[in-house]
Each structure stands twice: as C-alpha cells, then as structure tokens.
Amino acid sequence: METHISELAWRNPDEAADFKALVRISVVRPGKILVTEPLVIMVALISASSWGMIYLFTESLTVVYLSMGFTKTQASLPFLAIAVGVLFTFLPRLWDMKIVRDRQREKVPVQPEDKMVGFAFAAPAQAIGLAWFAWSIPPMVGGVHWMVPTTALVLVGFAVNETAHTLSRYLADSYLLYSASAFSGLALVRAIASGIMPLIAHEMYAGVNANYAGTILAGLATMFCVTPWLFFRFSKRLRQRSPFARFSLETHYRTNVESN
C-alpha cells in the first residue's frame, strides 16, 4: 500500500529490536500510558472493578447458596445465570451497527464515544443486579425462592461482559496505534483485581454478612453509574489533549486507512 507520505516507510521485516527498545516499547510505554492518561486510568479502574465481580463470585456464590440448603454441586449452578446474561450483550451490538451505518451514510467519522451506549445500560444494570441479589438472600431475607436472587445474576452477567467489551473497544478506537500499550495497562489492573477479589470474598460474605457485603458492592456499582455520562461529556476533550490518542488519530487519517 502506497501512502505517498514521505516520512512514513515500511520497517525492515527482518529487523529485530534491541533490548533497550524492547523495554521501552513493552514496559515503559504501557506504564507511562497507564499512569499519565486519564482515560486509561478510568477505563482500567472501572473495568477491573466490574470484571473482578466474577472472581469474587467464584468464592461468594457457593457460600450464599450453601446457606440456602444447596449441595456443593447445586451451589455452583447459579453461575449459569451469569452466562445467560452474557448472551444478552448482542442487543447493544445491534444499536452499534445502526450508529455505524448512520455515520457512514452521513459521511461522518465514527467517534469512539458513539459506540458506548451499551456501557450506559451496563452500569445501572450492574448496580441493580447487585442490590437485587444482596437483598433477596439469607440471613436477613428468608423464605425467598432461589430463582429470585439467581435472576439478579443475569443482570450482573450482562453488565460485566458489556462493560468489559465496550471499554476495551473504546481504548482500541481511541488509541489505535498505541492500543496494545493501553491494553497492557488495562490487563495489569484487571489481573490485580482478579487476584484480590477471591481473597476477600469469603471473609466478606461469611465473616461479615452476605446482605451487607452485597450492599457494599451495589453501592460501589451505583457510584460508577455516572461514569458513562462523564465519558460522553468529557472523553473527546481528553482524547484531544492526549499526545498518544492525538498522534494515533492523525496517523490513522493521514494513511487513509478507512478508504483503503
């Protein structure tokens, strides 16, 4: 592909980066993006908090359903409700495709924020699902059929998967050339959260109180409900101020990637 841009040239495919370049690209740059880019910091914290719920539930759901008289095998089956919730994430994709078609028809570039509608639904869905689950389980709520809290997990499954998908794609659309570095920071924070959550889950649900523990999680999720609107309102301005996002977008347009 010829770009007719003199300062852009193919790298030698046989060229191997030296150790210094490897460290700069694979370690220093992802670390710099993670700690200096407000958008990456926000995405990493939100995504890690949401994604960590799945790892927290690997320990806490068994405790909850054992207290409802389930066997150990039966207590693992509610995870299927989370899987069902994941299936519903196809619905926001239909809306995303409509937005892309509309922008193409109008000959207007698709902005990263245009495909974040699903996150606007996922954030409150997670808060509602966690609150619903917290106050339909023992010990403070008794005599409720097991399907009531289990249905709440469908909302949680949808919210966790939709949040992870939408925010990951947002980073890819925003940082383009540097998306791998942005994803490295995101993966690091998510891995840390995923490692911590199972360690505190049993103590939260068995040691404190399942209802109170669930309420704390629902409260934190409620705080994140405002974040989609913060992205809609401020993220474009932050992208324009970001040297990484701005350079990536300029390179993207200059090479006429879309038209080729």
Buried b (16+ CB within 10 A) or exposed e, 173-197: bbbbebbebbbbbbeebbeebbeeb
**Residue 159 domain-assigned?**
yes
Task: Provide mean pLDDT across the span 21-36.
Answer: 91
Report yes or no on 14 lying in a domain: no
Residue 36 scores a pLDDT above 80 = yes
pLDDT of amino acid 22 = 82
Axis-axis angle for helices 38-66, 147-175 (nearest 10) = 160
Q: Is there a domain that residue 72 lies in?
A: yes
pLDDT at 9: 58
What percent of the chain is predicted at pLDDT more than 90? 73
So what's the pLDDT on residue 260? Answer: 42
∠ at Cα 242 (34, 164), nearest 5°? 50
Distance CA 165, CA 167 (A): 6
Residue 3 lies in a domain: no
Would you state the pLDDT for residue 55? 94
Average pLDDT over residues 121-147: 94
- DSSP readout, 78-106? THHHHHHHHHTTHHHHHHHHHHHHHHHHH
Q: Span 185-214, mean pLDDT?
A: 90
pLDDT at residue 233 is higher than 80: yes
In a domain, 17, yes or no: no
Are the C-beta atoms of 135 and 214 separated by less than 8 Å?
Answer: yes
Residues 76-97: tens digit of each pLDDT: 999 999 999 999 999 999 999 9
227: in domain: yes
Return the minimum-mean-pLDDT range out of 2-11, 52-61, 130-139. Answer: 2-11
Q: What is the CATH number of the domain that holds 102?
A: 1.20.1250.20
Output the pLDDT for position 175.
Answer: 94
Residue 16 lies in a domain: no
207 located within any domain: yes
What domain range is 185 assigned to? 36-254
Q: Is the pLDDT of residue 219 over 70?
A: yes
Number of domains in the chain: 1
- Which has more confidence, 202 or 152? 152
Return the higher-pLDDT residue of 260 and 21. Answer: 21
